[in-house]
Structure 1
Amino acid sequence: MPQMQAFHKRIFFEDVKNYFLCNIETTDYGEQLKAVALIFFCLLFFGFVILAIILAALFAPHILKMPSFQFLIIFPLAMAIMGLCLLRAGQLQLLLKITIPIIVITCLVALISKSSTASAPYFITTIFYMLIGLTWISLFGRRQDVIYIAAVFMVSLVAYNIWVREFLDPLMQKVAMHAIIFGILSILLLTTLAYLYATVRDQSLARMRDEMAKKNELNERINHLLEGRAREVQEISGKFKLMNSELSQAMDSFDLVMEKSNEYGRETEEVVKAMLGKTREGADAMKSVVSTVDAIGNANYQLNEIVEIFRTIISKTSIINEIVFETKVLSFNAAIEAARAGKGGSGFAVVAEEVGQLAKKSGDAADEISSMLEESRNKVAAIVENIQKQSLVAHDISNASLEKFTDIAEKISYFCEKIEQVKNATLAEERVVKGHFKAMQS
């Protein structure tokens, strides 16, 4: 019921807005008929009031002063205003329930009065209310109601004309006859328009009901889909919450791993730096070894010079041996000459013998010195040769070790750079992962 009242209220406002403002350019014939009916109702209402005043002024001026005629003018206006208010409020059924009893009561009052002065205004008022009721019913009632009310109105007009005619004077009889003709024509026209409009309106309502049914079905499907989507959204939300929890745990684990990684990175960096320091110390030590080996090479060169001195001494010793040999030869010759001289050369023979013994001792000493020098030279030469070999080997080993230590130091430096790059990349990746995690949480 509230939906129907809202529907009629909406129809009334659309009618007033669209059709009273002559906005009837539409392709819907039902709407066009309704606009024509509303305009006709307004014209009929004001035309009927003006016609009643003109007829009364021309044929019976004294009627204008009659309370019944004033009732004829004032009461329909009041009822029309009340009807419009009820129609605006959406109280269509209440409007119809009020209108029909007023029409019936007016007809009964006109029949019961049986007075010329009272019957004519009531008779005209009855026609007026018939037109109002038929117009309202034609706009908002059913086709059966329109036909039924139109038949009742026609019978009422005929019966009223038959029963009240004998109480009217000739002038009022003419007025009543014209009113009856006017009312019958109006009823026929309104009935035709109302029937056509009701037919089109029922078709429109049927289409509207079908569309509403389709819309309701579509709404049900949409609601069903929305419920399904809502469940899916809830499931997805639950999965997101679970994922968020897992991501939180993963982030905690990731933070722990990153902390351990940073700690291990720092420890590795410290160890590598210590290794680099030790390697550099080893390289410095190897440089010292190379310097020592070079010093040993210089000492070996000096030993070679000593060997050369030994050779020189040995050569000099050979000269001494030659001198000793010559001395021996001279001593031997002197002994021969002393023997030839006899007793006069005995002293010279002693001297020659002593010189020979001295030469022998000198030769023996020279031979001993020469053998000792030769032995020393051989030992020193062997030592020099051994030192030279060991020096060459040590020099090669030192150079190779120095190259290895230098290469190791370079690789450790490169490894330190890579560790620093990995550390920076790990910190950047940690910031990126935390940023993505915060974005997913928001």
Structure 2
Amino acid sequence: MSRPARPRRRRDAARTVAYHVLRAVTADGAYANLELARQRSRLSAADAAFETELVAGTCRAMGTYDRVIERASGRRLGTLQPAVLDVLRLGTHQLLAMRVPAHAALATSVDLAALEVGERVAGLVNAVLRRVAAHDDQAWLDLLGADEDELGRLALTRSHPRWIVEAWSRVLPAAELDAALAANNVAPVPTLVVRPGLADVAELDGVPARWSPYGAHREGDPGAVPAVAEGRAGVQDEGSQLVALALARAEAPEGPWLDLCAGPGGKSALLAGLARQDGTRLVAAELQEHRARLVADNLRAYPEPNRPVTIVADGTRPAWVEGSFARVLADVPCTGLGALRRRPESRWRRQPSDLPGLTALQRSLLATAITSVRPDGVVAYVTCSPHPDETSAVVADAEGVTVLDAPALLPEVPDAAAGPFVQLWPHRHGTDAMFLALLRRDPIG
């Protein structure tokens, strides 16, 4: 007896690339936005747009989709082969959140699984996704949220881990929480920034930023802008521009400025130009050598005099004499919960257990920043996270400083005051959720 003919499988270019990008994200810890940019050249413009939505949307809603897949398969995620799980995630996003006909999402997912993983898994993928397709997105949310409390349903609906929702609920009015989480699910328009003194905003060929005098919003490839290609401008969220601007506006003694944790160099490049306008120079310190090279590249267009200096140095073990600087930026490593719009996968990577190690490092770096600035000098403590454990709680432990009124230095930005601190939000300001505290070092003795 002859064996049944093997199904003829069709390879879809956009879905294949999306699968490889997602595998890089889930298996190798890659950043989705960087991996998308790296692989996008393999596709046509239309396929690249489809792939971007498929990958970004899947990464954004991964935790919710995993619960759908568990319910539809009747199996715990750990019993599914990781490569198969990624195919199911991509298929689930097409079925529940994209305008892809169910038959097309099913057929292409089964073909993808057979070609990339093996024919043996095709039946499983087909069966699970057919069960997923039995309900629309809202029906699945209703089903999975039936036994959840209000925060649990919100976490499920807005595709955030519950611990993040709980953290944000500590610092936002209850009426704004849903809007804040929803804003994390909308990819931002790229924002560009000029290097002060090297380029004008008009050269960016975009819509001027709302508050930063150095920024503009522009769709498309930033590298196509001559000023960016030449290093006279770069890519930087408006929130990052504003915290650097606030530090430059604070009254401080004369002397050089320090960027304590400079990599990859976006804030350094803006601060360097502002320092030059103040008649001084910036020193940009970065622990990791490869990131220090990125900083140096961001600063490459600045000429003498007062050309910025890049050094490889550990911010917890300063390589300079105490009190060497007039202003210090401490943009410390953090959970990155304020940049979930741009890195959708990071919400599922971070865990509450990450916080103790990070907050200990943040306190150490802030202490270095304070001793690095001369008396009456100013430290800007910055995080790209609104989590209170990384923001106000760290500042509360700082010694030998007076907290300044940071919102007063950004009077043009509405609804940014959190007491004496600045807290920006995607849903209010269209920026990353940047936190800023400005601290003046007290006189010694």
- What TM-score, normalized to structure 1? 0.25
Higher strand share: 2
Q: Which has the higher helix share?
A: 1
Taking structure 2 as the reference length, the TM-score comes to 0.24
Q: Higher relative CO (CA 8 A, sep ≥ 6), structure 1 or 2?
A: 1
Larger radius of gyration: 1
